[in-house]
Structure 1
Amino acid sequence: MAAFEITREDGESGGRWLLKSDGHEAEMTYSRLGDSKIIVDHTGVPDGLRGSGAGLALAERMVADMRAEGKGVIALCPFVKAQARKHPEWADVIE
């Protein structure tokens, strides 16, 4: 998998992780659920990044950030749900 630069935009009610590569942008968005959880609701990867591992890179960054912050994740996004099934080691973060 390629090394991607991922940034995080964090606001009062939610935010997103943003991945930029080769003129394309992929994102994973979330909403806050109190102080201890977030709801990941969408992962968008444009055609130009499909198959590159961009979606997985966003998910791994989200899990790492939430683990570091001691927060749980409710995954409404179908992509994140599917990745959580493939990565049982994320069970401490994703419900």
Structure 2
Amino acid sequence: MIAMDVTDAPDQRRYEARIDGELAGIAEYRASERIVTFIHTEVMPGFEGKGVGSALVRGALDDVRAHGRKVRAVCPFVKGYIEKHPDEYGDLLV
């Protein structure tokens, strides 16, 4: 398993996944006070197939939950991830 940091970059309206400080993936969003709408997820070239997207979305969803917000999944990847993990994240959907 690769050590990865997932952090919110609110000034850029995205969550970022970094491996050894290098940007490995992003999950872009629009946020209101109560809802985070995920619009696009992208894994950078060279990091595909290493679980970056799933770890990024999991970290982002955990952060959304920690802040008492809900999720609108416009991004197909985020939507698919929640559908595959309904017991963990289904309650976050608006």
Q: Distance in 2 between matches of 1:3 and 1:20?
A: 9
Question: If the length of structure 1 is used for normalisation, what is the TM-score?
Answer: 0.85
1:78 aligns with 2:72: no
Question: If the length of structure 2 is used for normalisation, what is the TM-score?
Answer: 0.86
**Percent of aligned pairs with the same residue?**
34
* Aligned CA-pair RMSD: 1.7
Secondary structure of 1:49 counterpart:
coil
**Alignment counterpart, residue 35 of structure 1, candidates 33, 36, 52:** 33
Unaligned runs of 5+ in 2: none
Aligned residue-pair number: 92
Seen in structure 2, the aligned counterparts of structure 1 residues 86 and 39 have a Cα distance that, compared at 3 Å, is same
**Mapped contact 2:57–2:78 kept (Cα < 8 A):** yes
- 1:1-40, aligned counterparts within 5 Å? 1-11=1-11, 15-21=13-19, 23-32=22-31, 34-40=32-38
Unaligned runs of 5+ in 1: none
